[in-house]
Amino acid sequence: MPNATLKKIAEMLNISISTVSRALKNHPDISDTTRKKVQELAALLEYEPNAYAIHLRTNNSKLFGVILPTVSNYFYHSFIATLEEEVRRFGYSLLILQSGDNASIEQDNIRLCRTNRVAGIFVCITPETKNFTALQKMEEQGVPVIYFDKVPPASETCNKVCMADAEAAKIAAETLVKSGRKKILALFGNPEMSISAKRLDSFNAVFQQQTAAKVTVDYAYSSDEAHQVTLKHFSKKSIPDAVFCMSDEILIGVHKALQEKSVQIPKQTALIAISNGFIPKLFYPEINYVETSGSKLASLCFNRMMSCLAGSSFIQELTVDAVYVKGGSVN
Amino acid sequence: MPNATLKKIAEMLNISISTVSRALKNHPDISDTTRKKVQELAALLEYEPNAYAIHLRTNNSKLFGVILPTVSNYFYHSFIATLEEEVRRFGYSLLILQSGDNASIEQDNIRLCRTNRVAGIFVCITPETKNFTALQKMEEQGVPVIYFDKVPPASETCNKVCMADAEAAKIAAETLVKSGRKKILALFGNPEMSISAKRLDSFNAVFQQQTAAKVTVDYAYSSDEAHQVTLKHFSKKSIPDAVFCMSDEILIGVHKALQEKSVQIPKQTALIAISNGFIPKLFYPEINYVETSGSKLASLCFNRMMSCLAGSSFIQELTVDAVYVKGGSVN
DNA sequence: ATGAAAGCGCTAACAA
DNA sequence: TTGTTAGCGCTTTCAT
């Protein structure tokens, strides 16, 4: 037995389709008897409205597109998890598309969003993305585009929701200053990426104003590299008394190296990171971190989307504030 | 300018809608001139077919539903990532729904799948799920249901794709036997779930055949509980010389407790887990584990789905084989 | 090679 | 209170 339709119910009850439609949505001017009759039969037949027909007719899809590098990343999956929960409460669903940081797949994904007439798009662009015309066109056609995390350069005016990268690095740096640590190793990711650059600049700025501590900056493009780099710095006679990790990826490598070298945290060396919060809490002692929450990012994105849909035409650049979370790895 | 439609193109070119439709899909009996004219205008107007209209008309959606506890989990997000890649190659998209391990939300999600007329469903059931009628009905209506990871009990005949749970637990148990450990703590999740039951039975079976080692079984429903339970067992005068963790979730709590108690791994206590592989590699020494890959699981699920769609009516129970990965936490 | 027409399932303006 | 009708955008059969 295939899916029930309004038509089928109407025929079985010998009434018109519109009456059935109205009865099902508790339209005021349907008699109680009819309403009851209809709703009972619908329940019996397990009638479920056809989303395609509704959307076609009303031209109002309850679907958002999400385009991001991959869902398999300790940051993005928490973003997705929260976003899905939020949109569900408003009757929306998510079409989740992975670009794999490939601009051409990203274009395909945008087309898929168009074909599915999504009501809005959340997009985290690839490092290669230079051309924003397809997304701009959607915006012009009334489909809000919310850029998140990795966003277009400042030259593009659009809705952006980002982490407070500079602020987070600043907080971490200041914490280290206050702790009185003197020999600090600071590890960053690919300095070509704006996210690394922002964190680095901000981190350095704090230490330029005071000379009590000496900072060594180094780079690692992966957890494994962070591991190697840390081993190198901790093989000298005088080891750093604090390490700053720009990301979870780096934290993973650093922590492993410290364990391997039997460095006592925080007694010998303090450890602080910028993180989503999951990784720092895996260890004992838990790592102090400045939180950049994928979950909060999702909430902000969603709110911005809803106000765009409600008619706000302002372009906004929002920021998830950085929160310092104490663990047991500093002092 | 709203979206272009076949009608609009037809009017502009003074030809019929059907001709436009055919020209766009390179139907053989359309003249080259017409085809070219149409395709050029379509490109110019950036025509994008309306998925809702197509699906309504053809009754063939290119959407799969995925229902799982949460996407924010070191196992499931790798499942999703791979599944999304696979289905995209076949022109399908994913409607990803989180149940939060709540049977009532799960029911809502199933309804959403129905309303969206998904072509098939991948579902990882909640521990509470007892009632499979809604999913059975979908199956009867020609929508394949592939249960994965957490699946209905053996009494239900349906398509199941699981980890080699019994095998994985057996490998872990045998490894422990070979290592000569004598006082083993084995931690499992909710024993009501078939996944826990299977792993438990298989683990116990190995030790029933020999009395050299003593096994204590305990349960934990979360990382925090695993942490507490472990602390409890390690507060006695004689501590276990090996711990088996049924899952990453448990491993996290156990490892943290061992660190907290300054237990030396593997010298004092060996540690082995069943895991996706991410968590065990975070620690030093790396934890020995039996791999159960979310990515492989996704591929198997997808293949099964495609053969169901192609008409295979066989019910199958498939298994992702378990692979033992050596770390430094045993002997 | 092209067009006309029906219909997928639904909503909503209008009529009765 | 209920029915009639048109139409959302598309595919497809049947004519021409």
Residue B170: pLDDT band (50, 70, 90) is very high
Chain B interface, best mutation among A44, A77, A133, A279, by max B CB count within 10 A? A77
**Which candidate from A81, A115, A279 shows the least CB-CB separation from B49?**
A115
What's the mean pLDDT in A228-237? Answer: 95
Query: Which nucleotide has the shortest C1'-to-CA distance from A20?
Result: D2
CB of A28 nearer than 7 A to strand D = yes
Which pLDDT belongs to residue B313? 80
Among protein residues, the one whose C-alpha sits closest to the C1' atom of C7 is B57
pLDDT, tens digit, 9 for 90 and up, residues A46-96: 999 999 999 999 998 999 999 999 999 888 999 999 999 999 999 999 999
Count CB pairs under 8 A between chains A and B: 124
Predicted pLDDT of residue A314: 87
How far is the C-alpha of A225 from the C-alpha of A229, rounded, in Å? 6
pLDDT of amino acid A75:
87
Q: What is the pTM of this model?
A: 0.90
pLDDT digits (tens, 9 = 90+) for A106-159: 999 999 999 999 999 999 999 889 999 999 999 999 999 999 998 998 888 999
**Residue B71 to residue A53, Cβ atoms within 8 A:** no
- Option in A71, A111, A257 nearest B84 (CB): A71
pLDDT tens figures, B250-259: 999 999 999 9
Position A1 confidence tier, pLDDT thresholds 50, 70, 90: low
Q: Which nucleotide's C1' sits nearest to the alpha carbon of A17?
A: D3
SS (H, E, C) chain B: CCCCCHHHHHHHHCCCHHHHHHHHCCCCCCCHHHHHHHHHHHHHHCCCCCHHHHHHHHCCCCEEEEEECCCCCCCHHHHHHHHHHHHHHCCCEEEEEECCCCHHHHHHHHHHHHHCCCCEEEECCCCCCCCCHHHHHHHHCCCCEEEECCCCCCCCCCEEEEECHHHHHHHHHHHHHHHCCCEEEEEECCCCCHHHHHHHHHHHHHHHCCCCCEEEEEECCCHHHHHHHHHHHCCCCCCCCEEEECCHHHHHHHHHHHHHCCCCCCCCCEEEEEECCCHHHHCCCCCEEEECCHHHHHHHHHHHHHHHHCCCCCCCEEEECCEEECCCCCC
Render pLDDT for B228-285 as a digit per residue (tens, 0 to 9): 999 999 999 999 999 999 999 999 999 999 999 999 999 999 999 999 999 999 999 9
Task: Pick the residue from chain B with its C-alpha nearest to A49.
Answer: B115
Q: Give pLDDT, residue A105.
A: 96
Cβ contact, residue pair B51, A260, below 8 Å: no
Contact B98 A111 (CB under 8 A): no
How far is A222 from chain B, CA to nearest CA, in Å? 13
Residue A166's closest CA among A270, A321, A330?
A: A321
In the predicted model, what is the mean pLDDT of residues A160-178?
Answer: 95
Q: Hey, are the CB atoms on A96 and B78 less than 8 Å from each other? A: no
Distance CA A290, CA A274 (A): 5
pLDDT in tens, B281-292: 999 999 999 999
Q: Which of B116, B259, B260 sits opposite A51 (nearest CB)?
A: B116
Closest CA to A116 of A143, A139, A89: A143
**Mean pLDDT, chain A, as a whole number?**
93
Q: How confident is the model at residue B312 (pLDDT cuts 50, 70, 90)?
A: confident
- Strand C nucleotides, any atom under 7 Å to a protein CB: 1-5, 7-13
- Closest CB to A98: pick one of B85, B114, B255: B85
B15/C2 CA-to-C1' distance in Å: 8
Q: Given an 8 Å threshold on Cβ–Cβ distance, is A279 in contact with B284?
A: no
pLDDT over 60 at A162, yes or no: yes
Q: What is the pLDDT of residues A319-329, one digit of tens each?
A: 999 999 999 99
Q: Once rounded to an integer, what is the mean pLDDT over residues A168-196?
A: 92
B54 touches strand D (CB under 7 A): yes
pLDDT one-digit tens code per residue, B26-69: 888 888 899 999 999 999 999 999 999 999 999 989 999 999 99
**Residue A227 Cα, gap to closest chain B Cα (Å):** 11
Confidence label for A195 from pLDDT (cuts 50, 70 and 90): confident
Report whether pLDDT(B1) > 70: no
CB contact under 8 A, B56 and A50: yes
Lay out the sheet containing B63-68: strands in order across: A317-320, A159-163, A145-148, A120-123, A63-68, A93-98, B93-98, B63-68, B120-123, B145-148, B159-163, B317-320
Average pLDDT along chain B: 93
**Contact assignment for B252 to A51 by CB distance below 8 Å:** no
Residues of B in contact with A119 (CB under 8 A): none
Chain A residues closer than 8 Å to B95 by CB: 93-95
